[in-house]
Amino acid sequence: MGKIAERVRQDEVKLTDAEKLFVKRLSAGRDHLARRYPLVFAGAAAFGLVSTYYGFEKLIDRSEVLVDNPWILLSTGLVVLVVTGTVYTKL
């Protein structure tokens, strides 16, 4: 069992190293493009943010309970923020 565990550990290290190299190369290309075309990246980020917000708004509009009871919507939102904040601080 020890040889298998050691082999798995070696493969894990190889995969982790390959992942780090891939992320490094990908982020270098992304950083170069972001410096070269900052307006395009800002526009894409703004579009993504607005699209996400609009999508959540449309999903909420489909739920009659949340549309008819804004206090439930507010309470649910606050609970989600507290839970995600608590989980984030523990990580």
Q: Which two tokens stand for residue 85?
A: 């904040």
The Cα–Cα gap between 2 and 6 comes to: 6
pLDDT category at 21 given cuts 50, 70, 90 is confident
| Residue 81, in any domain of the structure | no
Overall residue count recorded for the chain in this entry: 91
For the chain, the domain total comes to 1
| Residue 8, in any domain of the structure | yes
The Cα–Cα gap between 45 and 40 comes to: 9
| Residue 71, in any domain of the structure | no
The 10s digit of each residue's pLDDT in 44-90 is 999 999 999 999 999 999 999 988 999 999 999 999 999 999 888 88
pTM for the complete prediction? Answer: 0.53
The Cα–Cα gap between 44 and 26 comes to: 18
| Residue 80, in any domain of the structure | no
| Residue 58, in any domain of the structure | yes
> What residue numbers bound the domain in which 39 lies?
2-66
| Residue 73, in any domain of the structure | no
| Residue 29, in any domain of the structure | yes
Cβ(48)–Cβ(38) below 8 Å: no
